[in-house]
Amino acid sequence: MRRKTSIMVWLLIFAVLAAVAHMLQRPPRAPGQPVTGSARVIDGDSLEIAGVRIRLHGIDAPERDQDCRDANGKTYSCGRAAMRALAAAVDGRSVTCTPVQVDRYNRDIATCTVDGVDLGETMVRAGHALDYARHSRGRYAGAEREARAARRGLWAGTFEAPATWRQNTTR
């Protein structure tokens, strides 16, 4: 009899927890609906808002573990530098992201702004990301030319394009 009571107690606990979890769920977001809120930066071109994983549309930043060389030829973590630059651009302020599409990792690909300023353009103009022309259709080409001419960020030294680095790195 004790075993039946124990099983019933566990079933009751499970049922209560499931009911509480169901009540705490947010209503589903409609596809393409913007998301706004406090952002957690994941890397130089990805963040999360209210549990929604987002990749910035039209840019490609170095991966978190990617290294580059500075103007003196010294190795530095350009991936972490890009992540810090995105965190500084957000600076604890509310971020609004408008989805453009969903990628194969089920992340929203979105244009994101802080106080009306495009985070993708901010990252490219600072030299911490590249215009991903295949997707942006050149939206950030001018910002990239400016960063390159001024030798900002990645352009101050040498680097492998993030897409190439990902292809050559086994994970």
Question: Residue 8 — very low, low, confident or very high, per pLDDT cuts 50/70/90?
Answer: confident
Stretch 78-104: mean pLDDT, rounded? 94
Q: Which of 36-45, 80-89, 133-142 has the lowest mean pLDDT?
A: 133-142
H or E stretch covering 48: strand 46-49
pLDDT for res 22? 53
Look at residue 49 and give its three-state secondary structure.
strand
H-only helix segments in the chain: 2-24, 78-90, 119-125, 133-136, 141-150, 162-168
Say whether pTM exceeds 0.85: no
Q: What is the pLDDT of residues 118-170, one digit of tens each?
A: 999 999 999 999 999 888 888 999 999 999 999 999 999 999 999 999 999 86
Instruction: Express each pLDDT in 93-109 by its tens digit.
Output: 999 999 998 888 888 99
For 114-141, letters b (16+ CB in 10 Å) and e give beeebbbbbbbbbbbbbbbeebbeebbe
Tell me the average pLDDT of the chain. Answer: 88
Q: Which of 20-29, 107-116, 140-149 has the lowest mean pLDDT?
A: 20-29
pLDDT score of 11 more than 80: no
Local confidence band at 25 (pLDDT 50, 70, 90 cut-offs): low
Question: Is domain 35-168 classified as CATH 2.40.50.90?
Answer: yes
Where in the chain are the domains? 35-168
